Amino acid sequence: MQTRPVLRSSTTAKVVDRLMLGLLWTLALGFIAVLLLFVGAILKQGWPVLNLGFLTRMPETLEAGGGIKPQLFNSIYLVVLSLGLSLPVGLGAGIYMSEYAGRGRALRFFRLCIETLAATPSIVLALFGMILFVQTMGWSFSIRSGALTLALLNIPVITRVTELSLLAVPRDLKEASYGLGATKLQTILKVSLPYAATGILTGLVLTAGRAFGESAILVFTAGTNVSAQFPDFRWTVPGETLSVHLWYVTSDGTLPDAREIAAGTAAVMILALLILNLLVRFLDRAIRRRTR
């Protein structure tokens, strides 16, 4: 007499499970379709513009046929500099919050600071960078002003990702390390960080992609001009990036081929982000193989 409700309950659970699975698959496929449509539309418009000359020519201000050589260099250069400035701070803060801060008021205070900085709009950081670095310190629109302001954008993301990745390390691994006589610092460097490397690397990719496509901060700090020299590694020269160039070309309207330049610039940015993600996937697999 009691088997029928159990069978009905089991059948209902299976139906609900299949419906939820189908719903999740539908959402996932819908997201992929939107992404492919978005990327495909950009590449369709920009692909005819892409050629070696477009990537290796200097930009034009009034005539058609300009390239994006210095903007591409500045984009990569600024991302590398900003990550170089923010990675030690973010990594150190994440390690402190996960391993040394405990669970008291200090941790809650640090998390409040990090979350507040992460939630700050980029335009606010742009105004802060312009007031502090460009005007107060007299650095003008330059690579160093843009890199330091971008670092402020990167630090909270790197900190939070590092903390969460280290908190996900199994406690058994740490206890085994302590049992072998390792100190806390040795355990962090030899056990926790290698185990959490893939999560931290994923966070760095997200951070680099966000910095690569940032425009508001760099308009106010790095400027909308480029150096006449190439390559120019000086921190004191202006550093217009691809995203800023895309905004400037579409808003200025003086170039006769502004639409083509904008489409080609957007396509280069999309391709660069795709290459970056593929590279990180390759590094992720290499790290997983070494840690097995």
Question: The domain containing residue 8 runs over which residues?
Answer: 3-49
Closest C-alpha to 201, from 142, 98, 282, 143: 282
Q: What is the pLDDT of residues 175-191, one digit of tens each?
A: 898 888 888 889 998 88
Sign of CA dihedral 105, 110, 115, 117: positive
Which residues, 6+ apart, have CB-to-CB distance to 65 below 8 Å?
57, 257
For the chain, the distance separating the N- and C-terminal CA atoms, rounded to the nearest angstrom, is 52
181: left (phi over 0), alpha (psi -120 to 50) or beta: left
Residues 195 and 72 in one domain: yes
Residues 34 and 139 in one domain: no
Average pLDDT over residues 131-160: 93
Residues 135 and 18 in one domain: no
Q: What amino acid is encoded at 289 in this protein?
A: R
Residues 130 and 208 in one domain: yes
Residues 36 and 180 in one domain: no
Residues 182 and 226 in one domain: yes
Whether the Cβ atoms of residue 143 and residue 81 lie closer than 8 Å to each other: yes
The total of structural domains in the chain comes to: 2
Residues 7 and 90 in one domain: no
d(CA 30, CA 27): 5
Would you place residue 86 in the very low, low, confident or very high pLDDT band (cuts 50, 70, 90)? Answer: very high
Residues 92 and 214 in one domain: yes
Closest C-alpha to 156, from 86, 77, 82: 86
Residues 90 and 230 in one domain: yes
- Look up tokens 């795709």; give the residue: 274
Residues 178 and 40 in one domain: no
Q: What is the pLDDT of residues 189-227, one digit of tens each?
A: 888 998 888 888 888 888 888 899 888 899 999 988 898
Is the whole model's pTM more than 0.95, yes or no?
no
* pLDDT value for 1: 46
Whether the Cβ atoms of residue 224 and residue 244 lie closer than 8 Å to each other: yes
Q: What is the pLDDT of residues 100-115, one digit of tens each?
A: 887 878 888 888 888 8
Residues 126 and 167 in one domain: yes
Q: What amino acid is encoded at 237 in this protein?
A: V
- Look up tokens 């490397």; give the residue: 197
Q: What Å distances lie between residue 70 and 56, 58, 78, 176, 253, CA to CA?
A: 8, 7, 12, 51, 20
Q: Return the CATH number at 110.
A: 1.10.3720.10
Residues 89 and 133 in one domain: yes
